[in-house]
Structures are given as structure tokens and as C-alpha cells.
Chain A
């Protein structure tokens, strides 16, 4: 009983890490732009595919894999996915923002961008599932009754590292300060000489880079890729971000783990057909009791 419980704590930490990393991307864009970037789950999927191609190419060049290949794949994937994010912002969101349309239209556009990414992938790469290559060798560690893999530990550490990095950027750097400033007042800030568009571009690059970290680790943990893999996990991470308090980095991070823990422990106790039902009822209750989420503050600086 205790064994099962301990094992599930680590299962939940791993699964929650993915929700957290994706939720942080939602949170970042929402914080700056007040835009729920529904394409984020599909940017995550795109990152997974980019990582697949980069890792396959690198493994061809440096056979065997290892930490070096992993680090190189990570950096290249982050760069490429950041470009994808910037491109989407440039093509789809910026023209709408320049016209000053209602935020609703931007959200609909985000949904469309998500579908375009999914179906573009389907059309160009075909429907066959792909196997993510083994970038690093897997080791299974037995700690008393609990079984861990090096990958599992890496995923959990990565989630905390990403959170720490983001906190640092937003709280301690000039760019972060600009982001917070735009979040505070989008109209007065250009008067202060802050290049709003450049900061927004940077925000998208950062958000997509986070999706890339999640994407490559997800590919390594759950190595079957398909074009629709980002849809459900994207929605769930969005809900996790809202429960934690969207716009607040700590909130999104903890929200991801809350959802991860709820899902794993519901499945461990109840028949798994109840998993999503009970999980979302719990989340609904949380939101009804605290509509702004755990760390959200109603209508003020969010980020």
C-alpha cells in the first residue's frame, strides 16, 4: 500500500511536470497579452516533431546519443520552436492586435492556428505514428520499494529548472520588467520608450521555448508521436493554469502539479474510467470556491 503510494507520488510528479511546463507557456502569453494562446498545445506538438527530426539527424551523426546529443537537441529544438512561435505571432496575432479588434477574435484565431498546425502536420508528414529515438540511455533505479528512471528524474528537475529560470527572467531582468509593465498598462508603456512589439515577440519566443523543453522530454518519456498529441494535454494544461491562477507563474506551475496529482491518484484509487470526470469535478469545485485560482489576484498586474 505504502509502496503504491510512494510510487504514485513520483508518477504524479512526472506527469504533473509536463502540465506545469505547458501551463507556464499559457501563463506567460496570457500575462503579457491577456491572450489565451490555444495554439500552445499544438506548438508543444510541433516542438515534439522538431525534436524528433533533430534528434534523429544528430543520432545519425553521433551514434549512441548521450548527454551531449541531448543538450544539442534541446538547444536546437528550443531555437526552432521559438521561431515557430514568433512566426505565428507575426502572421496571426500581430495584424489583429494592430487593428485593435476584440480579444475574442484573437482567441478564435489561436484555435485556428492550433488546427492548422495539427492538420498541416497530418498533410505533410502523414498519419503514421513515429517513434521518438532514444536520445539518452535509460537506467532503471531501485530505491527501496520505489522504481525510478533517470528520465523521470530529469523531467521533474527540468520542470523546476524551467520554473526557476522563468521566475528569474520575469522578476530580475529588464526584459522581465518590460513584460510586467506591458501587462500592467499596454497603452502608457510605449510612451516610456519600451518597444512593445519586441517584448511581445520575446514573450512568444520564451513561451515556445518552454513548450520545446516539454516537447523533447515528453517525446523521450512517451515515445509515440502523432499529430493530435498536443490537443488534450494542451487543454488540460490550460485548465491547470487557470486553477493555479493564470497570469501568475507560481500559480501555473503549482496548478500543473495539482492536476497531475489528482489524475494519477484518481486512477490509482478508482476505476480509470472515472479519471477525467472526478478530476474535473474537483477542479470545478476549486474554481467555484476561488474563481481566480490559487494564486490569481483579480484584475491587477498579472505576471
Chain B
């Protein structure tokens, strides 16, 4: 009896849901999913992404929704935590696609999660735009997957070129995180372009560590005693905060060059003054920004009390690219048809004027834009140094 009662209740609930969906077809909500790391080793990445999303949402709420072809639609953002794990990112992607029935997905942010989740989104024909994944594999041969930032095969050579000219050195050491696709690929690309420019033997140490390591003294001892004139450190900011002070304790006093994973608002609080004077390649520079970029920074700072990092800025652009694509494509109410239309509209965007620069998507869904080099000042600000062309 109990069982029958339960089944009956389930049927009624299903019928009610069906009815509800049937009724609400006219009042379609634009749902956009966020596949982001709210917990895990780099929660600031997720926090920045969510804050950027909330700023966009607040602006939309103030306007009463998104205007698509003359009609206003309510907008809903669904934030799902991927814990900075590949398997959770895949689960989150499936949940957003199948359960929440989103029109498009923003994120995952880093390549380790964006590559597997990109496969899921592409297989399920749901447009996805990663704001911060720089590995080529994320978008390669995946028509439904886009990104809002430049790629590692572009970032590494420009960083090598900049470092050589800036520090006037020929011998470099490289230390990377073996368990992180992003870090490993970037280290290899940097090594190759450094050797191409400075001859064989110019990379004197090419060493790695693991995701859970806290002591790097053996690797750093080797680097300090190797005769390297600079260190390339393509690792996440939480490792920077451990590695840089340890290197200094072992007597390292030469330049260190970082990559875009340094560009977190947490970098300076975690590493205190130890990173002052170092350079890294990134997507935008907050200090000295003008126009729309400055408006975004001011609003973000007013709402959350700190300067947005590159993830937040790129997420802001990524969300707006999706919204622009929805406006261009229009909505029919048929989920799959709309997803396809949004994908086509994103691919067709030309000269999109984002806060991190102008963007055109190429055939792979990658934008063509400049890299920025910033210097960390003694006050802990990321100061704009130069823009590097592709």
C-alpha cells in the first residue's frame, strides 16, 4: 500500500511538473550554467567567477531581464562547484546540461577541468565558453567550445621573448607542477622557445613537483646552484606563495617570471612582499585601466572589497559574449535548436569589444587578442608593463 501511495504521488508530481513546464513555455527563462571551483585548492578562482557573474546578473535584473529580439526574458545563473577536480567538472557539466537544461555554460576555468568538461559539452551539443583555460586541447576540434583568453602556445613564446629582453640573460631554470596539464604544457612550450632562441643547453634545470608538495628545497637547491640566471615558474598562485620565499631562503636573488595563473587577487596576500618586482604574463592589468574596464573594476571593488583578478574580468567577458550571442541568435523555445543557434552566433561574433580587449573567434573558437605583461609593485599592485602582439 505504501509503495502504491508513493508511486501515485510521484506520478502526480511528474504530471504537475510537465504541466508547469508546458505552461511556462511562454515565460522562458534564460538559464546559463557556471562550472566553477568554489572549493578545492583555488577557491578564489571560483569566487572571482561567481562575483563577476553576479555583477552581470545585477545589471540584468535592473533592466528587468535580457532583451532578445524586442522581448524581455528573465535570466538565471546556476553556479555549480567543480572542486577543481576533473571528474567533478564532468559531473557538473552533465548536471547543467541534462538536469538544469541550461542554454550555455561558462567555465570550467582552468585547463585541467576545461578539457574533459569541453568534451562533455561538445558531445551534448551545448555551447561552452571557458574564461581562463589556455591549453589548446580545450577547444580543438570542438565546435561547441569557445574560450575568452589567449593560448599557451602564444603565451609561452612571448613570455620567453620578454624575459630575454627584459633581464638580458641566456640561462633559465624552469620549475612546474607535474600534476597540472596547464603548468606542464606551459613549461614545455617555454623550454622549447627558450632553447630555440638561446641554443641547446640554455635551459639548465627543468624540474617538477607534485600537487600536494609543500617543501621544494631540493629542487630549489639544484636551481640556485645551477648557474641559472632566471626562473620561469608557470604555477598557480598558492604554489608561488610557497616556492618564492623558500627560493629566497636558499639564496635566490635573480629574476622570476610567472604566467597567467599568478594573476589572482590572493597572490599578494598569500605571498606577502616576497613577489614584489617579479613579472608575469596575463590577460589584463587592473592598475591604470580606463573606460569599460575601469567601470567594471570600480563596481567589483565597491561590491566585494578587492580588485578583480583576470579570472573575474575574463568571466565577465565570457558571460557577456554568451548574452550577446543569445541576443543575436534569438530564442525559439526549443532547447537544442537554441543551443545550436547560440553556438553559431558565438562563432560569428566579430570585433567583440570586451573589457579584456577586442576579440574575434577563429575556426577553433579561440579569440585572437594580446597578452599583457605586468610587474608586481612593492605595494602589491599589478602594474601594466607592455602588451605583446601575437
Contact = CB atoms under 8 A, between A and B. Distances in A.
Contact of B44 (A14, A128, A131): A128
B207 interface: yes
A224 B217 contact: no
A197 interface: no
5 contacts: A126-B43, A131-B272, A149-B249, A224-B241, A233-B214
Contacts of B251: 140, 142, 147
Interface string B43-59: 11001000000000000
Interface string B202-246: 000001111010110111011011000000000000100110010
Contacts of A232: 212
A140 B246 CA distance: 11
Interface stretch (A69-77, A207-215, A237-245, A272-280): A272-280
Interface stretch (B34-42, B94-102, B140-148, B190-198): B34-42
Contact of A7 (B207, B250, B269): B250
B289 to A, nearest CB: 25
A272 B43 contact: no
Given A147-B250, A222-B242, A226-B41, 14 more contacts: A8-B217, A11-B218, A127-B39, A129-B238, A129-B241, A131-B241, A131-B270, A142-B251, A151-B249, A222-B214, A223-B242, A224-B214, A267-B219, A272-B209
B304 to A, nearest CB: 13
Interface in B330-370: none
Nearest to B37: A127
B208 A273 contact: yes
A53 interface: no
Given A128-B266, A272-B178, A276-B210, A11 B39 contact: no
Given A131-B269, A271-B208, A264 B218 contact: yes
Contacts of A128: 43-44, 47, 266
B214 A8 contact: no
Interface in A4-56: 4, 7-8, 11, 14-15
A147 B41 contact: no
Interface of B: 38-41, 43-44, 47, 178, 207-210, 212, 214-215, 217-219, 221-222, 224-225, 238, 241-242, 245, 248-251, 266, 269-272
Which among A134, A149, A151 has the greatest number of chain B C-beta atoms within 10 A?
A: A149
B352 to A, nearest CB: 32
Contact of A4 (B40, B41, B222, B249): B222
The A interface, classified by DSSP as helix, strand, loop or mixed, is helix
A168 B245 CA distance: 36
Contacts of B210: 272-273, 275-276
A272 B209 CA distance: 6
Contacts of B209: 272
A256 to B, nearest CB: 13
A119 B53 CA distance: 27
A173 interface: no
Which among B43, B208, B214, B238 has the greatest number of chain A C-beta atoms within 10 A?
A: B214
Contacts, number: 94
Contacts of A134: 272
Contacts of B224: 7, 147
B214 A229 contact: yes
Which among B44, B269, B270 has the greatest number of chain A C-beta atoms within 10 A?
A: B270
Interface in A79-125: 122
Contacts of B225: 3-4, 7
Interface of A: 3-4, 7-8, 11, 14-15, 122, 126-129, 131, 134, 138, 140, 142, 147, 149, 151-152, 222-224, 226, 228-229, 231-233, 263-265, 267-268, 271-273, 275-276
A268 B270 CA distance: 27
Contact of A264 (B43, B47, B217, B266): B217
A14 to B, nearest CB: 7
B208 A11 contact: no
Contact of A122 (B39, B47, B222, B238): B39
B178 A8 contact: no
B66 to A, nearest CB: 32
Contacts of B39: 122, 127
Contacts of B250: 7, 147
Contacts of B270: 129, 131, 224
Contacts of B266: 128-129
A127 B40 contact: yes
Contacts of A265: 218
B249 A11 contact: no
Contacts of B271: 131
Contacts of A229: 214
Contacts of A140: 248-249, 251
B259 to A, nearest CB: 19
A147 B249 contact: yes
A267 B222 CA distance: 10
Contact of B221 (A4, A149, A223): A4
